Structure 1
Amino acid sequence: MVDKAINHPLTPKRRWFLKTALAIGAVGATFGSLVYWHRGLSHGRLTPHGRDVILGLTRGIVGPMLPKDPTQRQAALEAHLSAMERYINGLPAVLQVEINAILGLLGNGVTRYMLTDLRGGWQGASDTDIERALETMRINPLPTHRLTYQVVRGLTCMTFFTQSTNWPGTGYPGPLDV
């Protein structure tokens, strides 16, 4: 039999559960709408936020292999963006939705800071800031952060290294004639 006179602080009441559920729902809806607002893909094309994220990630992951000349570097980055769009559009719809969500998380200021500790946007960040952000994701104790890092690194590397125009900058001479 339960004594109703006992009002222990660790026994939550129904109203407390309702208030907590509403608060969690509001926070989740806010983050969800922000991620949707800054999504990375729309109708099979990279959005401006998605382009910024991909460019920042590319600078951080394969930056030393990009051309040093600013004009050639910009051309290589634009070619990489086009290749990334083609690659993502060739994936199953489920993976496209997941990549869109990841790009949205990294494109939104609040969630980008939570994942990477990068305060400003990808476009205005220095190469050192981007390297630090990627390292923050890579060694984070939370598995979601590490998984996000592995996904964006895998996408960037697969897309970059499958373009034969990038091979000379990596030191790869191309396939051997047999």
Structure 2
Amino acid sequence: MSLERPVAPDPYAFLPAVGSFTVTSTDVTDGAQLPMSAVHDSAGGKNTSPRLTWSGFPEGTRGFVVTCFDPDAPIPGGFWHWIAVNLPASVTELSAGAGADDASLPGDAFHVRNDFTTRAFGGAAPPQGDQPHRYYFVVHAVDVDALEVDENASAAVVSFNLAFHTLARAIITPTYQH
């Protein structure tokens, strides 16, 4: 069954313009199908966050936030898969599996709840037969050491704070359909 609907726009096109930098991965490729390692276990995958490495962020960067968002979920607000907050500016890589609920993030970084309601990475799990979904893995370079949020903040509250503190974004957008 296909949920025939228009493709959602780029969610970052609605936010204030900021600079960009580079994010790469040995696990996921921009525009290519996600590997089963990054698919949710409910959909037969391993539910493992991909390795991400970033460079070229602007001078004045004081920290990072890493997110994964699916704007193509069949709900009005899209679906948050991962939110890692307050990564130190000295960190330029998260290893595969850094999104696990028992993973130790560097410094004072922490996860907030995704839309699966876990404080961890939740892999792709679009409805069977739905259109391809895009997964925006984004590294946000921020102008503060720490966003003023705690582990109980929602993805929306983190996003709201990012709108005021993001200097630049690095984006890689793989897809998934099953």
In which range does the TM-score fall when normalised by the shorter chain? under 0.3
More strand by proportion, 1 or 2?
2
TM-score (norm 1): 0.25
Larger gyration radius, structure 1 or structure 2: 1
More helix by proportion, 1 or 2?
1
Question: Greater RCO between the two (CA within 8 Å, min separation 6)?
Answer: 2
